[in-house]
Structure 1
């Protein structure tokens, strides 16, 4: 199972270089702790604790199971063998790539030599079997997901997006309690709809970027679009930038009455002769909270358009 993982490295580059040379020269002399350091895996005690937490087995027991019958591995067990006991996030993967990129090529070449040196035929066999089982689980998992959800997951995995959701401007300031109610209801109904459409795996990435500015009290479309233009590069990557939401006094009052909705604005609408900037789009419309998630978000994601419609960050 000798492959590069993503656990934060505690050794200095000089210490790692010495360890790599030791591995290339005499891999049999290495302790498990040293091998884990080469693989960027957690220390053995941490690795075993994580492994037991996720699947009830230590790494040694999991290795033995994978060697004896890889097709008996559970999804969690196969995942641990394939990517490590700390089950890395996309952010951890990105940091590991950045760490590798800052080092000279000879250092990375030496690292791969060390990894090859500590790789045994048994570990290769276990990892190959686990990978085949992992692919089976992954295909089943993805097959049941809608296209737009898979597209979002891909953006998160590549670092193209950190969040998904909308910016919402508050333009009504008469109802303090109503505003709290609206925010609460938006969250509850959005989470409910996310579960309904099977997007619970990315629920923690959903966000409403609230903008509260007294200067926007009573603001209309033109003023909101101007403000949104200055905000586009400052909101989290992935928040929609082709449209935004707002809540005036009437919207906030409706939330108090149990009829929550939001105002939906086309960010790039140009009122030239009364025609919208994009065919089929009005300057402003009203939307339920649920409709923001589905079908609208699905339609936005799956619409094949060359125009960038989500915030990719400054310099992207």
Structure 2
């Protein structure tokens, strides 16, 4: 075992870090040497001291608070998943573009981190800071002592956790490659909104209410009822199903974009969010010139609302759709689809939308649909829509304005100094929102 000089995501050696050299005292050196030569002679307390682990009760409590399992249970889970070959031999078809099946790993990113970094927050950085201050000889002695004192179960569990984190790293790198700097900033802005907590709590309550309501039928919750799925309805032209090709291609392109957006950071996006978010695709006949008609889409969405056809947990104030223009965009640098609302809210008819670069302007009778970059369906767009349900400052922060469709249009179309070109696609760079 060796100690890396830096920790990913942690700057343990900043300009203010203590660089005063440290030397191991004789009692510590004696303990390390005994651990290496005769590990069976160590007590559990001595093993924990060498590995800088808290006492069993404290460790299990911290671990349970973090992931719902005690450390003992987490170690058992990792070993059992390894024995079942979930890491190396997945039969799950839900793979990403690099063939990495995160849903079959058996451990979440958080669970893997607890096994590799420990349950005490900030502990890895603290250890690295201390290690950097001791001599290379003492550093090697400490590393060998830590490795020698780990039980076979702990060693096996850590190996599984390290493989999980390696797979996650590959997924993160793929997402970072697919997203530019503005995309990443927009995602990070969206993650400042407490939308995940609201959605997960609401979907769980809805699922519980549906299960306990004797009047609810088997189809009341709709697709994705297991686990309380959340997401958006997407309309497409029914004739596209018959032609097949480009619809399947665009669905795949959108699915990949969603995957990258939701897997950009395992630290920011909860496992439950990734597991529950989905799109509910609905076919509708083409109306005008073999294309979709917005009034027909609104009528169909309203009918779905009235007939309780929209899955529980899905947005009821907005929907997406793919028309001929959106299909053509898939060859551009920013493929998009359309965001629309079922019907204008009564208060929207008197609201004013600023003209580009101004604070005033005329509000159309019916709000026009908005082009949305497919890379930002989730989490960015979904987070902004959920903001409509929040209270107080959470309805707006960290943005300048709330998330009414008119305000999203205004941010997209406004003229900003330094923005060379506007393509009319939401979202604009985060600094302009």
- Could you tell me the TM-score, scaled by structure 2's length? 0.36
Q: Which has the higher helix share?
A: 1
Q: 1 or 2 for the larger relative contact order (CA 8 Å, sep ≥6)?
A: 1
- Could you tell me the TM-score, scaled by structure 1's length? 0.48
